[in-house]
Amino acid sequence: MMSNFAGKTAVLTGAGSGFGLECARLGAKLGMNLVLVDVQRDALDAAVAELTGTGVTVMGHCVDVSNAEQMQTLAHDVHTQWGAPHLVFNNAGVGAGGLVWENSLADWQWVLGVNLWGVIHGVRLFTPMMLQAAKQDPLYQGHIVNTASMAGLLTPPNMGIYNVSKHAVVALTETLYQDLQLVTDQVGASVLCPYFVPTGIGQSQRNRPGAQADEHLTPSQRIGQAMMDKAVHSGKVSAAQVAQKVFDSVSANHFYIYSHPQALGNVSQRMQAIVSQSQPPDPFAARPEVGQQLRADLRN
């Protein structure tokens, strides 16, 4: 639980757009020191310029969160400048679809590198700093928020590589919460599980490393990209609204953060299937026409 944000330090990955940028904007309004992290230099520079203009102290770091050495340098620089941060938002993420057996080694390395290893690095590097600060100062309050997805609680077809990465983040964050409960009352954790929200994730291929680029997309990957683009762009909940939910949850020490609580009915059905040992539920039960179209496209 964090009762006051003014003068506290926030580290935010994926801060050049989407949830990261909107959380940075809220942090600026609350008077936080901001460490903005993104792999896209132009977006990062624009965010740094905008938020510096609000009068708060801002540092920008162009970092590939999947790279252990770059993340180690980031953590060192943050600690040198500010000491332990108070809010760490491990948020950087990329999207990829397609039938799970069609994903290349490069696909797996890229998506797991950013979505999972980026969170792992953030947790392993910043948590010890925060725990040390808590030991030294009984008034210190810290919180770690990791961005997963409703795809971390569900298993929609034709996006398995993304599902795997986000299920891992949910498991990691739930375990982080339990581990922190063993050792401190001063550092909390939350997992953000958004549904379809208009952000830049649909265009995440723009930041894919050249060495991992696969020029040829399979039909299922093209279909998956098109479906994700449509769903994301049609989202009615904004990234700014989700950012407010993040800060409200950190203040209240709530663990699960949802953009669309109405989607939890699907999670309940999945859990019931697990407990009853029945088949996984039909992901298209509410919109059978979508499933019929997808099957037709893939079989043709």
Segment 27-31 shows an average pLDDT of 98
CA distance 65 to 80: 19
Residue identified by tokens 């801060």 is: 15
In order of their start, the domains of the chain are 9-263 (3.40.50.720)
> pTM, whole model, 2 decimals?
0.92
Q: Kindly report, residue by residue over 141-167, the tens digit of the pLDDT.
A: 999 999 999 999 999 999 999 999 999
Q: Which residue, among 143, 40, 151, 148, has the nearest Cα to 91 in the 3D structure? A: 148
One-letter amino acid of 193 = C
9 three-class SS? strand
pLDDT for the residue 205: 55
pLDDT given at position 242? 95
pLDDT at 153: 97
Q: What is the pLDDT of residues 241-283, one digit of tens each?
A: 999 999 999 999 999 999 999 989 999 999 999 999 999 999 9
Amino acid sitting at position 256? Y
**Mean pLDDT, residues 67-75:** 98
Count how many Cα atoms sit within 13 Å of the Cα of residue 27 in the half-sphere of its side chain: 34
* pLDDT mean over 211-237: 72
d(CA 254, CA 252): 5
Helix (H, G, I), strand (E, B) or coil at 148: coil
